[in-house]
Amino acid sequence: MDWIFDVTYKNRILLKGILEQLSLKELNTIPSGFKNNVIWNIAHTIATQQILVYRLSGLPTLVSDEFIEQFKKGTKPEREVTQEEVDNIKDLLFATLEQTKNDYANQIFNSYNEYTTSTNSTLTCVEDAVGFNCFHEGIHLGYILALKKSI
């Protein structure tokens, strides 16, 4: 699991760099031909990780229900996010990952509600969820890079 957490951490460093590189206007821009923007995709990775790892384990999430509702699968940007929200998202990239690593080390994930993803992968335990999440975040990094070129 250390390797998967490390890959996720490295992906999130890349996401943080993008947050620091783009202006607030660029983060909120939805380019022609796209359905969402850079900041939505980054926040979506956090929301999805919380759903896959915590909610499906029957545990409270580390972010608010409102955050998850705004950025979960099937949503899209309904408004521009503020700089304060961007700063919070930047903090959440690492705070949620560090807490997940600690919670995993402390063995708090004792049950899991099986879930089949949109790629038809069935997750049966928290290890599956953490592994799949790493894949999911990589997909969104690629999408973010395409968005960035289109801004």
Res 54: pLDDT: 98
Query: Cα separation of 129 and 119, whole Å?
Result: 13
Query: Cα separation of 140 and 43, whole Å?
Result: 10
CATH code where residue 74 lies: 1.20.120.450
Res 37: pLDDT: 98
Per DSSP, 13 falls in state H
Tally of structural domains, the chain: 1
Q: Are strands 122-123 and 115-116 parallel, antiparallel or unpaired?
A: antiparallel
Decide: 144 and 16 in contact? Cβ < 8 Å: no
Res 10: pLDDT: 98
∠ Cα 117 55 19 (to 5°): 80
Res 8: pLDDT: 98
Decide: 124 and 112 in contact? Cβ < 8 Å: yes
What is the Cβ-side half-sphere exposure of residue 7, based on CA atoms within 13 angstroms? 13
Res 136: pLDDT: 98
Res 12: pLDDT: 98
Amino acid (1-letter code) at residue 127: E
Q: Which domain holds residue 142?
A: 2-150
Could you list the pLDDT tens digit for every one of the 151 residues in the chain?
A: 999 999 999 999 999 999 999 999 999 999 999 999 999 999 999 999 999 999 999 999 999 999 999 999 999 999 999 999 999 999 999 999 999 999 999 999 999 999 999 999 999 999 999 999 999 999 999 999 999 999 9
Per DSSP, 115 falls in state E
